[in-house]
Amino acid sequence: MKKGIYLILVITLIAVGYLIWNGNGASQDEPENENPITNVEFSEDLIVEEITYDSEKKSLRYVVKNNTGETLEYGAMFTIMKRSGDTLMETDLTDDLAFDMALRTVGAGDTFSDEVLFKLLEKPMDSGTYYIIREYMDSNGNEYIPEIYFTKTGEVIQPGR
């Protein structure tokens, strides 16, 4: 009789442990992109509609809609930051790139696209999750950053979303 009670107790504890650690989505293997970034504020008003990666061209292309209600200005310069926990860390991946100084605009409600050519990067990129950081600014000086990211595993690049 005691063995039966102990067996039921052990099975119950195993089931409860499974529900606590894995069954409800709180797994320790949870993708790191589920947790918010704490040191960069991404704009909810720049809607990332699409991110694609072309392995032949080695390029990441993204499409963003400007829902800020303002015309935004931006330059060609961007940085690539690597995720570490809930923080984005600076990398030297774009240090050797030259950017033109032209100022571009995107109107309120407009959709625009851009492309990052990885074949221009001279430094190797380790496996991990990376974010393309490009700032867009309205006439009042407010900055907006769309959340554009990708994950590199070995030689495979998987765009975010």
Q: Which residue stretches of the chain are H helix?
A: 2-18
Could you tell me the two tokens for 129? 């999750």
Tens-digit pLDDT profile for residues 97-107: 999 999 999 99
Where do the domains of the chain lie?
Answer: 1-30, 33-159
145 within 8 A of 136, measured Cβ to Cβ: yes
Global pTM reads 0.77
Amino acid sitting at position 125: M
Tens-digit pLDDT profile for residues 18-75: 444 444 444 333 344 466 899 999 999 999 999 999 999 999 999 999 999 999 999 9
> Could you give the CA distance from residue 54 to residue 8 in angstroms, rounded to a whole number?
54
Closest by alpha carbon to 48, among 33, 69, 66, 68? 66
Instruction: For residue 139, give Cα distances in angstroms to 66, 102, 142, 144, 145.
Output: 14, 17, 7, 12, 15
Tens-digit pLDDT profile for residues 122-149: 999 999 999 999 999 999 999 999 999 9
**With respect to CATH, is domain 33-159 assigned 2.60.40?**
yes
